């Protein structure tokens, strides 16, 4: 049987570049080489696309771009389904079957790369252009989730150059403590917990560093839960996980080092509540038009209310990432998950 050639896109010019390298190694390690031939294409922090012909160890340590690399680009010609490789002797074409963007954050998870693939007519692993763009925008994803009947935090959006007096007034209406976060960044970059009015302006400035739009949001009591979902029409849902925090919030350090926090899979909640959480996550997934896979994060309050937090259309794929952990608890290995999401992209 001919192996399908899958472009594994990694790196990217976002603040989550290093996290993408870890996820790419997870995908490559789980890829069934009897069914799929990886074509590894790295995107540097500056945005240069390079076909990388070396092993995953140099991706893991971040030195891949200094290895066996040559400039490359996806052909935009619809129907060609080709990676253009700019060799010394001329341009070579590698016909590919799908593109798997293992990218996090801006310029990769936000619909930009997805739009390029859809323009070129190349099957795309994961969510399409619109769902990816909506998923990265916390304000607009909240609005759609609310229309789908899922509760969302009270919040308001702001932009660079906003009236700080108005921000203070509206924040006072939400009440303290509250959260200020970039409207379109992941991995908790730029997120601040604001306990008092005197901390608000610095938190706003920090959030606006990431894309120029921010969200000021009420603090939801309780704890965070997550739901891993795969599928286009029929959905496969992993076990609900739970984040236990000793202090503070689930910031970048806690997400990737788990210094004081713990992740429980399955979550320590009643089965009926877990089913309710899964239904809410599915409603958000459908409302945003997701396909392939995504992780939906929500809050569970002490009163048992379910509140939507955010959706990750390209969640982490490392051995310790939440998405694989939830699917593993549901009986699926990372290799099975990777194969399934690829088949969802290439199936008729």
Annotated domain spans of the chain = 4-125, 134-151+221-346, 155-218
pLDDT above 80 for 188? no
DSSP 201-246: HHHHHHHHTTTSEEEEEEPPPSEEEEEEEEESSSEEE---EEEE-S
Tell me if 34 is assigned to a ligand binding site.
Answer: no
Judge whether 321 counts as a catalytic residue. Answer: yes
- On whether 61 is known to bind a ligand per the annotation, the reply is no
Residues in Cβ contact with 82 at an 8 Å cutoff, skipping those fewer than 6 apart: 74, 75, 93, 94, 95, 96
Could you report the per-residue pLDDT of 13-72, keeping only the tens digit for each?
A: 988 899 999 999 999 999 999 999 999 999 999 999 999 999 999 999 999 999 899 999
222 belongs to an annotated ligand binding site: yes
Q: Identify the CATH class of 155-218.
A: alpha beta
- What are the tokens at 242? 């739970």
Look up 199 and say whether it is catalytic.
Answer: no
Q: Is 77 annotated as a binding residue?
A: no
pLDDT at res. 319: 76
134-151+221-346 — its CATH code?
3.30.470.20
- 37 has catalytic annotation: no
**Of 16, 106, 254, 282, which residue is the catalytic one?**
16
pLDDT digits (tens, 9 = 90+) for 71-102: 999 999 998 999 999 998 899 999 999 999 99
Please state, in angstroms and rounded to a whole number, the distance separating the CA atoms of residues 218 and 109: 26
Whether the Cβ atoms of residue 213 and residue 157 lie closer than 8 Å to each other: yes
CATH topology of domain 4-125: Rossmann fold (3.40.50)
Q: What's the pTM?
A: 0.91
**pLDDT confidence of residue 1:** 63
């Amino acid at each position: 049987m001919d192996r399908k050639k899958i472009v594994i896109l990694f790196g990217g010019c976002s603040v989550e570049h290093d996290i993408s390298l870890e996820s790419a190694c997870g995908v490559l390690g789980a890829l069934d080489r009897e069914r799929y031939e990886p074509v590894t294409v790295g995107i540097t922090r500056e945005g240069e696309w390079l076909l990388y012909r070396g092993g995953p160890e140099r991706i893991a340590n971040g030195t891949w771009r200094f290895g066996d690399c040559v400039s490359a680009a996806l052909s935009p010609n619809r129907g060609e389904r080709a990676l253009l490789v700019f060799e010394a002797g001329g341009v070579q074409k590698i016909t590919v079957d799908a593109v798997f963007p293992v990218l996090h954050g801006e310029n990769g998870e936000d619909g930009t790369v997805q739009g390029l693939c859809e323009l070129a007519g190349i099957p795309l692993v994961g969510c399409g252009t619109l769902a990816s763009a909506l998923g990265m925008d916390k304000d607009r994803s909240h609005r759609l989730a609310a229309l789908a009947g899922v509760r969302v935090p009270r919040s308001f959006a702001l932009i660079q150059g906003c009236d700080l007096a108005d921000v203070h007034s509206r924040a006072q209406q939400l009440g303290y403590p509250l959260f200020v976060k970039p409207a379109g960044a992941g991995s908790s970059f730029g997120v601040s917990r604001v306990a008092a009015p005197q901390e608000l302006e610095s938190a706003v400035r920090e959030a606006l560093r990431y894309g120029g739009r921010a969200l000021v949001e009420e603090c939801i009591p309780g704890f965070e839960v997550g739901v891993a979902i795969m599928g286009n029409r029929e959905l496969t849902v992993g076990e609900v996980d739970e984040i236990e925090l000793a202090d503070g919030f689930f910031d970048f350090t806690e997400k990737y080092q788990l210094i004081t926090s713990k992740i429980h899979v399955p979550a320590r909640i009643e089965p009926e509540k877990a089913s309710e959480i899964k239904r809410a996550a599915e409603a958000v997934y459908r409302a945003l038009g997701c396909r392939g896979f995504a992780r939906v994060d929500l809050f569970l309050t002490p009163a048992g209310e379910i509140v939507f937090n955010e959706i990750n259309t390209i969640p982490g794929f490392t051995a310790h990432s939440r998405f694989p952990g939830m699917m593993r608890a549901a009986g699926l290995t990372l290799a099975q998950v990777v194969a399934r999401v690829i088949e969802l992209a290439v199936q008729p």
